[in-house]
Structure 1
Amino acid sequence: MNIKWLNWEKASFEGAKRNDKPILLKIGATWCHWCHVMDETTYQDPAVIEHVNRDFTPIEVDNDSRPDINERYNMGGWPTTAFLTPDGELITGATYLPAADFLRVSEEVFKYYRENKDAIGRVIPKAMEIRRDSAEINWNIIDEIVGEVIDAFDPVYAGFGYGQKFPQADLLDLLLLYSVRTEDEASKAALILTLDAMRVGEIRDFDRGGFYRYATMRDWRQPHFEKMLEDNAKLLSIYLDSYLLKGDERYLNTAYSIRDFLLTDLFDDAFLGSVDADSKKVDRRIFTNWNGIAVSSFVKLFEVSGKIKDLDPAIKATDTILDTLYTRGEGMLHTEDEKGIKLLSDQVWFAGGLLDLYRVTGKHRYLESVKDLVEFTLRAFRWDETGLFFDSLVDEDLKFLSDKVWKIGDNSMLAGLLIDLSLITGADGYLSEAEALLKRMSAEYKQHGIFSALFGLAVDKYLRLVHIVIFGEEEEVKRISKDALSIFEPNRTLEILKTSLNPERIADLGLSDKSGVYACRRGSCMIFKGDAIKEDLVKFLKGGEPIGETSST
């Protein structure tokens, strides 16, 4: 006999109400070691099986398929063991529980439910109301977030925190940007020490490449062996940026090892989800949001290597997902195995990958899809009462999932995407949307601490509005790009235009020269030509006075 797990669906909750049984909600993941342990021990215990089947309505949820459910019910890790009322209200919960502990806790929950079920809905605290406050967007925001990141930095073993160590690529991205903007020694040291600790630590897989999800020890030892597409795609990007910043070949070689792992183990027609910690099996599902991150990273890899083979996976993955998970006017599905589930993260991260791919290929299919996804997002995910954007659209009639949740990372990504789209299309409406969203988050970010790192990156993008356009025919573009792209400018919006293939865009920008670099910084624009492009562009980006032609566009 086994536990009779049900799916997360309306019929399961109706059954719980009809039978007057509380819900046991198990949230796990294919890659999760302790999920497997609990499945093979606790949930195989005869007493547990009998108790759960008799007294509970057991529902099983996969974290990667339904991150929106995980966002609302996770109890601090995986597996999550949550106990709910038949109406979906959380009673209590835990993570991993051995059989004896599970029986003790679940029996207490069942007894409590029987004696207090009529009062539970009145005493469970509701989500805090979000006020519609706004605040100014300024450089102090970035200073404050970086200060929190530095406070969390481990000066002995690097990384963040003093227990288990996770890569936390978003924090590294912010430190990299801040060290470039300010030449701050503390942020530079935290960045380099962490990159080096991970690069040589046990959290890195030296056999197959890539990085494990986390290390259980403060000094990056004893990792859990699952490997995630999301983590490795982000780490590919930060090691490439760090190579561009420092010129250290070790960072480039680390990036190449991540590339090789992703293409060998996690790629078919698109990028695949994860590698299991125990069996080393690959979860072959395609998740839209993580693929968007991977596409952007492989575009960056192509910009660094100049090799079309590094761009091909991004093109193939993008085309596959556009053909299977995208409907014009209706947005992106999260994955094929959960029809109807659409996440804000799917729309914004995949649109970001599309826009990056458009920048280097000039294929208007990608740009038109970006604009369509953004319009869909602004329409379908807008939380009018708060001025923010909520996380999930689902085709299911479950009242408690309609309680909205907003995530600062995805909202920050949307703001940055709107800024990029404004600069590339010239449509001011996108910039106005980004500004309004950033002002709203400026009143909210402090409660998120170091997890507001992506917000810091979006603020920098808005305050600088750096737009660089390299234009000319193929050979001229190659020559100019060698100089212009050797300047490390994080958070730029870059376009590479072949003039004969993009006459309308060239005309829109008012570019009459055969070739050159058109650069803007917060609305001040200049055209650079000749042999001193690199030197003049560096001065311009740092706020100096280069010798160039002022543009009125």
Structure 2
Amino acid sequence: MDDSVSEIDWYGWETGLAAARERDDPVMLFLSAAWCVDCAEMERTTLSNPQIRANLEEFIPIRVDADRRPRVRDRYNMGGFPSTVFCTPDGRILTGTTQLGIEGLRSVLGRVREVWDDRGADAGRIPRALRADEPPAGEVSEGIEGQLVGRLESAFDTQYGGWSDAPKFPLARTIEFALKRDREAARRTLEAVQTHLQDDYEGGFFRYAANRDWSDISHEKLTDENAALLRTFANAYLATGEEAYRETAARTVEYLTTTLWTGEAFAASQAPGPDDSYRAPEERTDPPVDGTVYAGANALAIDALLAYHAYTDDEDAKRFAQRARSHLEGLIDGGRVAHYAGGDRGLLSDQARVLRAFTTAREVLGDEGSLSSARSVADHTIETLRVEDGRFRDGPVEGAGLLSYPLYPLDTTAELADGLLDLALITGENRYRSVAHDALAAFAGASDRLGPQLAEYGTAVSRLVGEPLVIRVGAPAGSDLHRAALRIADHEAVVVPGADCEGALASAGERTAQPAASPAELERAVSALFAD
């Protein structure tokens, strides 16, 4: 965004807090995103008002891009974008809200200034999530999966699909969890997502719907969410064989590899455009694209494109995944992933997603270089972000304001644990499984309180304590036997091509099937492995 829009002399995060300390003034943090219509509207109207600009002279105005600075976002987000947050010079929160009009912001500025003049920095607070509470540790057991299945059943919207009243987000990982455990709910939600969130003209998916019936669509399209849904629809095609799911996935591939393709990798997002953006193509102007290449979003896209290629032999999906992977490798130094070129390094979310992209590349492409990279990323994450109780911090414990206070995100921990389990099953190195166990155990005491949006925790627990399917294939990647192994209808299975075995060897826990020499024999062997 251009600073001249609101004629406010914005500071960056670190420089702004330094200026606030020097002047002993409170901070107004404007937390926005390139795709956020309400953010642009607040800048165009509220923040361009002369009286507001005059009132802000008693504050240090800081603007932060939430996508570029996720650690700031996760500590200061007030529940939506924009977030308008008032802080002490050391970053403690005075108060905050989301979008404000002119009169609303004038009123808040006045109240905050009164509080500051009366109490100063003593009025600041540290959010509860950042306080040093004991983790809700517990036993990792089979019952956790059952608890989450029950929560999904009770939360499912039987009238409209999805697992909440409003707003309705697609919850891609929750759909994947349900595909194996409550397929009817998964299918009904997939139908709702297809009907209401899919862009009928350009492909891809809009971000969410504001109402229970999936109406009042927010038309921004984010790469990470589109990549997650591509994988989900590909996995739904694997599970059911329904052509409609493959077609939806194919259109999402086309959207990612055209509109969001930068020439080297995938751009970050596409903002909603003017009202004509969602008319017929000949009547439409294309909404703007944020060309920033984020490591985590690209890792999700690589994972999803390779899954789609594995199930369909689509060569374009494979080619774009390989090109994006080459760019992604340039963001990694010694296992430490840069959020984007020049951005923060070693963030848990990026590390987890890149790990998964490399393990998937090993499974689908048979690439030993990807396995080496996966080990490097996993080892760096364990070495630098893991704490004694098994939890993982969201990033380095450093930075201005509340960045020096660690967060331990459960959703990202589950994502990392799932990737570590893949790595353990591919390599046979039990140390990765042990780390995944401890990370999941650190939150197991709260498993009965987890909602549908955290179903990926249930997936990871199920794979840890259960008997996940592993298929080792003596033939190389791309062979008929390898392709057949990838298409066994279980998206939670692990496939290892080029293994030291004859034919294909399927196993689940301590049980191992008879070696299979053909795709038909492999299908029979897997069926026998799970027969009662």
TM-score normalised according to structure 1 size = 0.88
Counterpart code for 2:235: D
Q: Aligned-pair distance for 1:253? A: 0.7
Partner Cα distance (2:305, 2:84) in 1: 37
Instruction: Say if 1:465 and 1:523, in contact at 8 Å, map to a contact too.
Output: no
SS in 2 for 1:468: strand
1:70 is aligned to 2:57: no
SS in 1 for 2:473: strand
Match of 1:216 among 188, 210, 225: 210
Partner Cα distance (1:220, 1:135) in 2: 37
- Cα deviation, 1:270-295, whole Å, max 9, x if unaligned, reads 11100011361111001111111111
SS in 1 for 2:505: strand
CA RMSD after TM alignment: 2.0
Q: Structure 1 123/253 Cα, relative in aligned 2: closer, same or farther at 3 Å?
A: closer
Match of 1:304 among 301, 311, 314: 311
Q: Structure 1 133/45 Cα, relative in aligned 2: closer, same or farther at 3 Å?
A: closer
1:326 is aligned to 2:326: no
1:432 is aligned to 2:443: no
Residues 444-459 of structure 1 correspond to what in structure 2 (within 5 A)? 444-459=446-461
Instruction: Say if 2:141 and 2:461, in contact at 8 Å, map to a contact too.
Output: yes
Instruction: Say if 1:484 and 1:537, in contact at 8 Å, map to a contact too.
Output: no
SS in 2 for 1:472: coil
1:205 is aligned to 2:211: no
Partner of 1:367: 371
Instruction: Say if 1:445 and 1:452, in contact at 8 Å, map to a contact too.
Output: no
- Cα deviation, 1:359-397, whole Å, max 9, x if unaligned, reads 22222221111111111000111122x320010227x64
SS in 1 for 2:474: strand
Instruction: Say if 2:203 and 2:251, in contact at 8 Å, map to a contact too.
Output: yes
Counterpart code for 2:228: K
Counterpart code for 1:3: I
Partner Cα distance (2:395, 2:327) in 1: 23
Q: Aligned-pair distance for 1:84? A: 0.5
Partner of 1:393: 396
Deviating more after overlay: 128-137 vs 361-370: 128-137
Partner Cα distance (1:123, 1:243) in 2: 46
- Structure of higher RCO (CA pairs closer than 8 Å, 6+ residues apart): 2
Partner of 2:521: 532
Partner Cα distance (1:57, 1:432) in 2: 47
Match of 2:236 among 242, 254, 262: 242
Partner of 2:279: none
Partner Cα distance (1:432, 1:163) in 2: 38
SS in 2 for 1:234: helix
Q: Aligned-pair distance for 1:356? A: 0.7
Q: Structure 1 252/13 Cα, relative in aligned 2: closer, same or farther at 3 Å?
A: same
SS in 1 for 2:523: helix
Match of 2:255 among 261, 269, 274: 261
SS in 2 for 1:278: coil
Q: Aligned-pair distance for 1:449? A: 2.3
Counterpart code for 2:220: E
Partner Cα distance (1:468, 1:276) in 2: 42
Q: Structure 1 125/369 Cα, relative in aligned 2: closer, same or farther at 3 Å?
A: closer
Counterpart code for 1:311: K
SS in 1 for 2:513: strand
Residues 183-202 of structure 1 correspond to what in structure 2 (within 5 A)? 187-201=182-196
Counterpart code for 1:387: G
Instruction: Say if 1:132 and 1:387, in contact at 8 Å, map to a contact too.
Output: no
Residues 469-480 of structure 1 correspond to what in structure 2 (within 5 A)? 469-472=472-475, 477-478=479-480, 480=481
SS in 1 for 2:183: helix
- Cα deviation, 1:179-218, whole Å, max 9, x if unaligned, reads xxxxxxxx322211111112122x2110000110012232
Match of 1:274 among 266, 269, 277: 269
Gaps of 5+ in 1: 179-186, 498-504, 545-553
1:153 is aligned to 2:156: yes
TM-score normalised according to structure 2 size = 0.91
Partner Cα distance (1:66, 1:445) in 2: 30
Partner Cα distance (2:270, 2:427) in 1: 39
Partner of 2:3: none
- Cα deviation, 1:84-121, whole Å, max 9, x if unaligned, reads 11111111110010111110111111111110115325
Counterpart code for 1:525: T
Partner Cα distance (2:429, 2:255) in 1: 39
Partner Cα distance (1:154, 1:176) in 2: 16
SS in 2 for 1:242: helix
Q: Aligned-pair distance for 1:158? A: 1.3
1:131 is aligned to 2:134: yes
Residues 98-177 of structure 1 correspond to what in structure 2 (within 5 A)? 98-117=101-120, 119-121=122-124, 127-132=130-135, 134-177=137-180
Partner Cα distance (1:213, 1:237) in 2: 16
Partner Cα distance (1:126, 1:433) in 2: 23
Q: Structure 1 427/242 Cα, relative in aligned 2: closer, same or farther at 3 Å?
A: same
Partner Cα distance (1:126, 1:195) in 2: 33
Q: Structure 1 51/337 Cα, relative in aligned 2: closer, same or farther at 3 Å?
A: farther
